[in-house]
C-alpha cells in the first residue's frame, strides 16, 4: 500500500465536471487575464473572509511582498515574524528591503508567542506578520493590541489557514491585511500559482491594485513602480469552483484529525496538535511531535507512507539570514520544533485504511524505541 501525503487526483475526481466546464468556458472566451472570474473570485473570497477588499495576485509570496510595499515598509524598517514558517514569510520582508526580526514560537501551537513580541519592538519596527501555521490562527488579540499601542501594521500570513477562525472571527480580517496562497497543496489550491491580499482599508486596496499592475492607474500612466502580479483567469475560474467546497473539505480534514487524535491519545510519546479554546483549526497540516522523529520518517519511507517535516531548519538559522546574526539556541522553541515535528496525511479524501496504516507505523516506531 502506498500512502501519499496529499492526493490531489482524488480531489479532482470529485469535481472533474465542474472544473472541465469552467476551463472550457475560459478557453472559449480566450480572455486569460482579468475578467469576470478574477473579479468574481475577489468578491467571493472577500465575502467569505468578511473583508471589504480582495486583490488577486500571482502568488502568496507576492501577496506578502506587495502587502508590505503597500503598507510603506521600506529599507531601514524592521518587521517582526516567526522563525518557524515557510521561507516566503521572511523572504518577503527581506525583498521589501526591510530586516526580519524573529520572535520565538509557542511550543503547543507553533505560532508566534505574543508574550515575546514586546522585547523585539524597536523604533524601526513597522509591521508584524503573525503566521497562522498549519491552519490554526496565531493568538491575534494580544498581537493586534500590541500593534495598536505601537502603531504597527499587522499583516496576517494566512497562506495555510483560509477558513480558520479565531473566536468566531474569520482569518483574513483581523489585521490590516492578510496574505493568502493558492498553491495547489493549500486548502484552497489552484491549478498552479496564485495568491491574494485581503483588506478592509480602501487606501491599501488601491495601492495593491496599482502594485500588481506596474503601478498603472490610467493606461500607460504610472504613478508608482509596481510589477506584474495578476492572477490568471483560468486560476480564478478553478478557485471559484473549489471555494464552494472549502468548508466541506475542511470538515473532512477536521474529522481525519479527530480520528488521529483518538488513536494518539493512547500512545505515550506522540504529541498531537493542540487546538486552543475558541480556535477553529482547518488542518492544512496535521503536525505531531514525536521522539526520534527521523527514525520514524525512515520507517515511513520503507512502508511508502508520505509525511513531511515542516520545517527542518528554522529561518533564523538559514544561511541567507546569517547577516541578521542569530545564533543556534537563540530561538529554542522553534529549534526544538524543527527537530520533533512530523506532518501526516490529513487531506479530505484520505482513505480510512491509509490512515490506519499511518497510525500503525507510528505505533511500531514507538514500540521499537
Ligand atoms: C506560511 C506560508 N507563507 C507564504 C507562502 C507562500 O505562498 P506561495 O507558495 O503561493 O508563494 C506559503 C506557501 O507556500 C506558506 O505556507
- Do 336 and 360 lie in a common domain? yes
The model's confidence at residue 368, banded by pLDDT at 50, 70 and 90, is very high
- Do 69 and 178 lie in a common domain? yes
Per-residue pLDDT tens digits for 174-229? 999 999 999 999 999 999 999 999 999 999 999 999 999 999 999 999 999 999 99
Per-residue pLDDT tens digits for 69-101? 999 999 999 999 999 999 999 999 999 999 999
Residue 208, in any domain of the structure: yes
Residue 3, in any domain of the structure: no
Calculate ∠ Cα 233-159-350, nearest 5°.
90
Nearest atom in ligand 1 to 132's CA: 1
Residue 44, in any domain of the structure: yes
Domain that holds residue 327: 246-368
The Cα–Cα gap between 223 and 97 comes to 20
Residue 66, in any domain of the structure: yes
Residue 294, in any domain of the structure: yes
Q: Rounded mean pLDDT of 274-287?
A: 98
- Do 239 and 253 lie in a common domain? no
Question: Which of 198, 226, 243 is where one domain is finished?
Answer: 243
The predicted structure's pLDDT at residue 204: 98
Residue 19, in any domain of the structure: yes
- Do 293 and 172 lie in a common domain? no
- Do 145 and 282 lie in a common domain? no
Q: Rounded mean pLDDT of 290-300?
A: 97
The Cα–Cα gap between 188 and 246 comes to 7
- What order do you get walking across the sheet with 165-166 strand by strand? 169-170, 165-166, 279-280
Domain count, the chain: 2
- Do 98 and 146 lie in a common domain? yes
Does the C-beta of 159 come closer than 6 Å to ligand 1?
yes
Question: Which of 243, 266, 282 is where one domain is finished?
Answer: 243
Nearest atom in ligand 1 to 62's CA: 11
Q: How far is CA 154 from CA 48, 130, 137, 148, 212, in A?
A: 20, 8, 14, 9, 20
Does the C-beta of 156 come closer than 6 Å to ligand 1?
no
Residue 85, in any domain of the structure: yes
Nearest atom in ligand 1 to 284's CA: 16
Does the C-beta of 85 come closer than 6 Å to ligand 1?
yes
- Do 285 and 194 lie in a common domain? no
Question: Which of 243, 271, 306 is where one domain is finished?
Answer: 243
CA proximity to 224, closest of 235, 215, 232: 215
The mean predicted confidence, pLDDT, of the chain is: 98
How far does residue 243's CA lie from ligand 1's centre (Å)?
A: 18
Nearest atom in ligand 1 to 182's CA: 10
Residue 140, in any domain of the structure: yes
The model's confidence at residue 121, banded by pLDDT at 50, 70 and 90, is very high
The model's confidence at residue 250, banded by pLDDT at 50, 70 and 90, is very high
The predicted structure's pLDDT at residue 9: 98
- Do 276 and 328 lie in a common domain? yes
Q: How many CB atoms are closer than 10 A to CB 75?
A: 8
Report the chain's terminal Cα–Cα distance, integer Å. 24
Does the C-beta of 187 come closer than 6 Å to ligand 1?
no
- Do 208 and 262 lie in a common domain? no
The predicted structure's pLDDT at residue 6: 98
- Do 171 and 317 lie in a common domain? no
CATH of the domain at 72: 3.40.640.10
Type and span of the H or E element at 361:
helix 352-368
CATH of the domain at 284: 3.90.1150.10
- Do 67 and 199 lie in a common domain? yes
- Do 148 and 35 lie in a common domain? yes
The predicted structure's pLDDT at residue 286: 98
The predicted structure's pLDDT at residue 51: 98
pTM of the model: 0.98
Amino acid at each position: 500500500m502506498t500512502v501519499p501525503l496529499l492526493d490531489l487526483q482524488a480531489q479532482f475526481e470529485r469535481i472533474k465536471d465542474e472544473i472541465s466546464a469552467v476551463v472550457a468556458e475560459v478557453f472559449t472566451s480566450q480572455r486569460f487575464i482579468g475578467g469576470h472570474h478574477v473579479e468574481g473570485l475577489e468578491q467571493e473570497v472577500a465575502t467569505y473572509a468578511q473583508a471589504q477588499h480582495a486583490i488577486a495576485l500571482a502568488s502568496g509570496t507576492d501577496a506578502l511582498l506587495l502587502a508590505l510595499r503597500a503598507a510603506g515598509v521600506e529599507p531601514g524598517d524592521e518587521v517582526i515574524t516567526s522563525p518557524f514558517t515557510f521561507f516566503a514569510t521572511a523572504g518577503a520582508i527581506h525583498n521589501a528591503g526591510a530586516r526580519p526580526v524573529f520572535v520565538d514560537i509557542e511550543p503547543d501551537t507553533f505560532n508566534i508567542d505574543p508574550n515575546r513580541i514586546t522585547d523585539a519592538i524597536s523604533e524601526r519596527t513597522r509591521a508584524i506578520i503573525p503566521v497562522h501555521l498549519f491552519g490554526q490562527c496565531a493568538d491575534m488579540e494580544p498581537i493586534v493590541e500590541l500593534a495598536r499601542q505601537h502603531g504597527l501594521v499587522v499583516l496576517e500570513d494566512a497562506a495555510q489557514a483560509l477558513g480558520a477562525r479565531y473566536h468566531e472571527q474569520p482569518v483574513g480580517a483581523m489585521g490590516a491585511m492578510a496574505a493568502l496562497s493558492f498553491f495547489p497543496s493549500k486548502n484552497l489550491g489552484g491549478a498552479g500559482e496564485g495568491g491574494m491580499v485581503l483588506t478592509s482599508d480602501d487606501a491599501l486596496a488601491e495601492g495593491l491594485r496599482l502594485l500588481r499592475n506596474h503601478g498603472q492607474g490610467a493606461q500607460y500612466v504610472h504613478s508608482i513602480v509596481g510589477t506584474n502580479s495578476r492572477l490568471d483567469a483560468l486560476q480564478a475560474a478553478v478557485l471559484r469552483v473549489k471555494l464552494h467546497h472549502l468548508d466541506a473539505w475542511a470538515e473532512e480534514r477536521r474529522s481525519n484529525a479527530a480520528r488521529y487524535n483518538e488513536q494518539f491519545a493512547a500512545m505515550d510519546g506522540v504529541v498531537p496538535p493542540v487546538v486552543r479554546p475558541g480556535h477553529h483549526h482547518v488542518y492544512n497540516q496535521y503536525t505531531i511531535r514525536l521522539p526520534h522523529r527521523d527514525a520514524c520518517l525512515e520507517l515511513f519511507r520503507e512502508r511508502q507512507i508520505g509525511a513531511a517535516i515542516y520545517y527542518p531548519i528554522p529561518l533564523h538559522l538559514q544561511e541567507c539570514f546569517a547577516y541578521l546574526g542569530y545564533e543556534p539556541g537563540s530561538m529554542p522553541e522553534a529549534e526544538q520544533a524543527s527537530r520533533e515535528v512530523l506532518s501526516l496525511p490529513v487531506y479530505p479524501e484520505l482513505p480510512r485504511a491509509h490512515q490506519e496504516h499511518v497510525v500503525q507505523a507510528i505505533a511500531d516506531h514507538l514500540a521499537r524505541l
